[in-house]
Structure 1
Amino acid sequence: MLREGQILCLCFVSVLLSPQASRAGSRFDLPEGPGRELVYGHCQTCHDLQSVVDSAGIRKGAWAAVLDNMNDFGLRISEEQHSRILNYLGTYLGPQPPAETTGTASVADGGEAVDGAAVYADTCISCHQEDGKGKPGEFPPFAGNGDLFLNPTFPAAVALYGIEGKIEVDGKAFDNVMPPFDFLSDAEIAAVVGYIRSNWGNEKLRPADLEDPAADDVAALRTKEMSSEDIYALRSSLRQ
């Protein structure tokens, strides 16, 4: 286990020196627990989670220092998200993590509706923004983006498998990496696709016969094992 001072250095180095490593889509399985989706959604957007995984066992105060310093590198999260991430890191990657449990059903597994707005706030908003307009040159907008409606499941495929490299949307170029969000449940991905398609005026772009994906549709997508190149090829074929 690394000492607490080392985690600060490792996190800074991973942000400053490893952009290409993050583009490789490295995936590390984190322990189940409330807030895990926020760690995936916000931390691995800029770098992989190797330093986080290697440093399991440090105290909550050390994790707090990591989060505070990450603000200098562009981390933008609300106070509530900060609290949830810190509680997760301090609990499940702290000195005395709880024993793993099995057989716990998610809210979606229980048959209850998933709030797409909540999923967006937890996993998408830091890059694509509250207004859906993205960040110039980095993250493309959702607002007014016709690619959302290329077919029923295209945006779900992007969410599952991620995409990296240069892309043009409405004549504007963007170049960054979107990591896979396959840690989200099938129902959560379906819900966030529906949310994105129904906000910021996007409902006016929806073809009359296009339906949002169901959780079963997302589950079917998981079997395809698509690469970033596959996503680009699918986009190109659907735009013809």
Structure 2
Amino acid sequence: MTTPDHPSPASQPPAPTAKDRIYRSPLGLAGGVLLLLVVLWLGFDALFKGHGRTPWLALAGLILIVPLILAFTLRPAVFANEERLRVRNPFRVITLPWGEVAGLRSGYSNEALTASGAKYQLWAIPVSMRARKKAARRQQRAAADAAGGGTRGGGLGPGGFGLGGFSLRGPDTGPTRAETDQVMDDLRELWERGAQTEPAQGVVTVRWAYEVAAPAVAGAVLLAILLAVG
């Protein structure tokens, strides 16, 4: 889930001295690509084969919808290194030096909290309650196996059956921590390690993604005009 990043000096001043770890949602990327293919297929079909106002409506719809799909599925990412956390959300890019981060909170969403009280959601690291429950069940089974002496146990047990005092339930080698919770643990480790260092000091900056918002607004205006004129 992590890959090295080499940010452009023009887009990220000042350039960090350490390489970034990049965190994205694989399901978000896959869903975004699939949704984008479907929308483009339907849109171009209406654009080139439609009659009357249909091509214009299709064009306006594409200008509106495609940037939104990109913004909410392919764009979100979290970049982290020893000096700062950079959060690329659908419509904003937030740069948080570790010295300005007051905490990283995991609830129904993953969030970064600043010393000034601001809160920023990490879109690229969504919370999966299902994964948390599965990880919690694995933890419980591992604790029960450890308390019962590994795979030994008499009679029937959940997820397996007994034979001669041994449980034939296969070993559960899955993670005992949800993936996104593990990512948050990694970010907390970076924060705790770098918060007091000199390179991790600075100010929080927020940049709006006009390159995403402007086309979507233009498409919405064009679509509204076409619908208004009938």
TM-score band w.r.t. shorter chain:
under 0.3
Please identify the structure whose Cα radius of gyration is greater. 2
Greater relative CO, 1 or 2 (CA 8 Å, sep 6+)? 2
Q: TM-score if structure 1 supplies the norm length?
A: 0.26
